[in-house]
Structure 1
Amino acid sequence: MKIFGREPAVLLSLIAVLVKLVAAFGAKASGEQQAVINAVAAAAVGVTLAVMAHDGVGAALVGFIQAAVALAVGFGLDWSAEQQAVVLSVAAGVVAMWDRTQITAPVPAGTVKSASPVA
Structure 2
Amino acid sequence: MRILGREPATILALIAICVKLAAAFGWDASTDVQAWVNAVAAAAVGVLVAVLAHDGIGAAVIGFAQAALALAVGLGLDWSSEKQAVVLTAVTIVVGMWDRTQVTAPVPAAAVRSRAKPTAV
TM-score after normalising by structure 1: 0.85
In percent, how many aligned pairs have the same letter? 65
Say what the alpha-carbon RMSD is for the aligned residues. Answer: 2.1
Aligned mates of 1:35, 1:93 — CA distance in 2:
29
The 5 A counterparts of 1:9-88 are 9-88=9-88
Return the offset for 1:117.
8.0
Q: Where in structure 1 are there 5+ consecutive unaligned residues?
A: none
Aligned mates of 2:6, 2:50 — CA distance in 1:
16
Q: Write out per-residue CA displacement over residues 32-66 of structure 1, whole angstroms, 9 at most, x where no aligned residue.
A: 11111111111111111111111111110011111
Q: Write out per-residue CA displacement over residues 75-97 of structure 1, whole angstroms, 9 at most, x where no aligned residue.
A: 22122222211111111111111
Q: For residue 77 of structure 1, give the secondary structure of its aligned residue in structure 2.
A: coil
Is the 2:69–2:84 Cα contact (8 Å) retained in structure 1? Answer: yes
Return the offset for 1:67.
0.8
The 5 A counterparts of 1:87-102 are 87-102=87-102
Is the 2:12–2:41 Cα contact (8 Å) retained in structure 1? Answer: yes
Aligned mates of 1:98, 1:8 — CA distance in 2:
26
Aligned mates of 1:48, 1:13 — CA distance in 2:
16
TM-score after normalising by structure 2: 0.83
Aligned mates of 2:25, 2:78 — CA distance in 1:
27
Q: Is 9-18 or 96-105 further displaced after alignment?
A: 96-105
Q: Is 84-93 or 10-19 further displaced after alignment?
A: 84-93
Aligned mates of 2:21, 2:119 — CA distance in 1:
71
Q: Is 47-56 or 24-33 further displaced after alignment?
A: 24-33
Aligned length, in residue pairs: 118
Q: Where in structure 2 are there 5+ consecutive unaligned residues?
A: none
Is the 2:47–2:57 Cα contact (8 Å) retained in structure 1? Answer: yes
